[in-house]
Structure formats: structure tokens, C-alpha cells
Amino acid sequence: MTLQFGTDGVRGVANTDLSPELVVAFGRAVVRALGRDRAYLIGRDTRRSGTLIEAALSAGICSEGGMVEAVGVIPTPGLAFLSQTLDAPAVMISASHNPFPDNGLKLFAAGGRKIPDAAEREIEAGLLEILEQGPGDGVAVGGAVGVASRIPDGTAGYVEHLASSLGGRSLAGVRVVLDCGHGAAFEVAPAALRALGATVEVCNAEPDGSNINTDCGSTYPGGLQRAVVELGFDAGLAFDGDADRVVGVDQNGRLVDGDHILAVCALDLRSRGLLRHETVVTTVMANLGFRRAMTEHAVTVVETPVGDRSVLAAMETHDAVLGGEQSGHVIFSELATTGDGTLTGIQLLDVLVRTGSPLSELAAVMTVFPQVLRNVRVADRDGLEGARGFWAAVQAAETRLGDDARILVRPSGTEPVVRIMVEATDAADAAATAERLERSLLAELG
């Protein structure tokens, strides 16, 4: 058994897929690929298994001669910020929005960017080599053994960075509810918003190790929607487990997803002459309504595969300052090296303050096309390409729906799941089409 990178690091069930033995070996492989005699930062979200995996990872890094500086609980973008400011590689222990039993490992190169594909392949190869060797082969000994230490109050600089992102402007007068999902943002996000002068109500900020993402946060925003309306607040923000994504809620309780946030921020930056090349980057999952809104305002849309790494790579290629995903991963490249839920929420609320417009009015810049997403758990995800009957059904559906519709099929990079997305002008038609395609897929892949 070994570990392989998906679209966003390595994930699996903690203590089985991510066994301590495998994580120790993984830590060793990371040091072999990225270098000995240097410090490695380690952060984690609030999962119960986080300390177990941190101990194993730290042991692996130190056994190969690396030094460890543990940060404790911190959002993924906060660890990326420290990686950038300290110029040190970093490993985030988190399974993001996945259920509590899962955990994962996300790697950043020194400077705060996700490691490139070539480095991932080198780590995978090194891990296999280590697993095939004896337990003591190639390890550091004596004075070459690494030492682990902790960074006290490692989030303080990150909170200051978030608060300074508005260049001296404030959020005074804004009333916002934060759903922290019992995850890594439970202290950082309220502190940053309050430092900017916002009136903040916090919910789901009492992590107990097992309640992360449970019926709350960015994947379950229903409670936040109700809270915003009941309190009469201006907006709500919901984060996932490691707070690298966010979704919003307007004053009427309507969801404001990543597409809306991108649209609002793109047009705001364009109005201020700050949207470089008048270009925004998004993924194949972006709603057709987003694309049409950008076309109407003469903003060029660059499309990428799913994943914030793909978005960031395209942003660099096209020299773009803004990119993101419908899920709420949004990257402001002049402010961060990766998607940052708290930072994105701050930028969105800043538009609210400067324009004086309610969030519902800002989000109305795009009309959402009905979009149905089915996450189909299959026995053989790798057999998708050869599922001829299923692909014939997809082609027939595309022909019937015509130009004002889209069908997107892709395997998950982290789960035994195939995602089927159907977008059409009629919600019932989109749902029925998705259901037929799901049945066809299960008939072939089980």
C-alpha cells in the first residue's frame, strides 16, 4: 500500500489509508525530494486525527535530517502565507471539506505555492523506494537527525496580513455571520473581520475533533442562510474545514457561490482599472450564467480543469490577478499564493462597503442557469473512459439539449466518485437528464 497525489494533495481515511507508518515514510520522501538541512512547517485543521498524523509526519521529516516547525491549527492559506514569509516548504494536514474520519496532506514549496507535478511524482517514487527498503536504510543518524519545535502564536502574522489586505480601508458598519464549520478558521476569521471593524456573529466555531464540516460550513450553508435572515444581517460567510474556500449568503438568505463572488470581484476590479488584461480564470464547472455575464461586460474568461492548482497555473500564464472555482476557491494573486476563504470574504465585503449596494444586488450581475451535479459512487472509477454505453448516452443528451446547455463528466481526484454535471435552461430537464446519465453510468461501472 502507498500514497498517491490527487487533485489537491493526498487524502484517505486517517489511521488506515493514512497509517502512521505510511505517513512517516511520506515525510521521509518529502525531505528527499525537497531537501535536507532545512525547516519544514506543519499545520493542521481541527480533526481528531490531526495530532496523530502530525507526529508521524514530524518523525519522518526528522529521520531524514529535516527540521520541523509545527504551527498547530491554522487555515491552509495561513500556512501558505507562513511558507511565503519564512521561505520554507510546508505540509498542511487536512482533508478540506471531506468527512471527519478522512484526513490528508497538502504540500507547499518554499514561497507558498503548491508543489509542481514533477515534485509530486518524485515524492511518490521516493515513497515506494522507502517502503521497499528496510526501516533504517538511508536515515539520518547522530547529529544529522532533525529536531522538531513549535511556532508560538503562528496565526498572528496571518491575521495581520488579512486585516491589511484592504490597504487601510475598513468594514465598519458591515454586519456579517461567520460559519466556521468547526474547522481551521474558527479563531482566525472572526479575529480578522473584527480587526477590520465589522460586526461579527460566529456560529459553528467550537471544534471537538469530530464535528468538522458536520451539517455546517461551505458544503452545508442552510443554517447560515437562516441565521443571516433571522438576525437581519448584511451577509454571511461559510468556510470549509481548512478555510481555503468560502461561500456567501446575501441579506435575503440566498446563496452566493464562487461564481457569484468571482463575477462581483471581477467587475469591481475592472471598474477600478485593476483587472489586469480584463481577464478572469475559472474552471469547467463555472456556470454558463457566469460566462455570459463576463461576455456582456467585455471580460475575457480563461477556462481550466477543476482544481485551484490549474487555476493558479493559468493565472500565471495569462498574467491574471483573479481566478477561482464555483466551490469558493478564489485566488487574488496579488494578495495570496493560493485560495483563501477569509481573504476572499473580506474582498467581497469590501465591495459591499465601497459601492453601498446590498449583496443581493451585486450578485444579480449574473443569472444562474439550473445546474444539477450528481456525485456517483462507483466500483471502478478508472473504467470511466471505456464506458461506451454511458458516453453514447451523454452524446445523445447533448444533442437533445442543444447549445443552451452543457454536460460535464469527470472522475473525482480524491474519492471513488464520478461527477456528472448537467446545465440547462430548464431545471426539471437538467435533473431528469442527470438521473438518466447516473443510471447509465451505474449500469456499466457498478
Catalytic (active-site) positions? 96
Instruction: Please give the radius of gyration of the chain, using alpha carbons only, rounded to the nearest integer.
Output: 22
The amino acid present at 155, given as its one-letter code, is T
Q: From CA 87, how far away is CA 425, in angstroms rounded? A: 48
Angle between helices 341-355 and 188-195 (to 10 degrees): 30
Strand 175-179 relative to strand 67-73: parallel, antiparallel, unpaired? unpaired
The answer to whether the CB of 392 falls within 8 A of the CB of 441 is no
Cα dihedral value 378, 98, 243, 79, nearest 10: -100
The answer to whether the CB of 304 falls within 8 A of the CB of 324 is no
Q: From CA 238, how far away is CA 223, in angstroms rounded? A: 10
The answer to whether the CB of 253 falls within 8 A of the CB of 223 is no
Tell me which DSSP letter residue 368 carries: P
Burial 90-122 (b: 16+ CB within 10 A, else e): bbbbbbbbbebbbbbbbbbbbebbbbeeebbeb
Tell me which DSSP letter residue 385 carries: G
Could you tell me which residues are beta bridge partners of residue 201? 177
Cα dihedral value 359, 363, 369, 372, nearest 10: -50
The answer to whether the CB of 436 falls within 8 A of the CB of 397 is yes
Burial of 367 (0-12, 13-18, 19+ CB in 10 A): exposed
Tell me which DSSP letter residue 247 carries: E
Question: All 3 cell numbers of residue 144?
Answer: 544529522
The answer to whether the CB of 329 falls within 8 A of the CB of 311 is yes
What is the biggest distance separating any 2 CA atoms in the chain, rounded to whole angstroms?
70
Least Cα distance to 358 among 249, 263, 269 occurs for: 249
Strand 330-332 relative to strand 322-324: parallel, antiparallel, unpaired? antiparallel
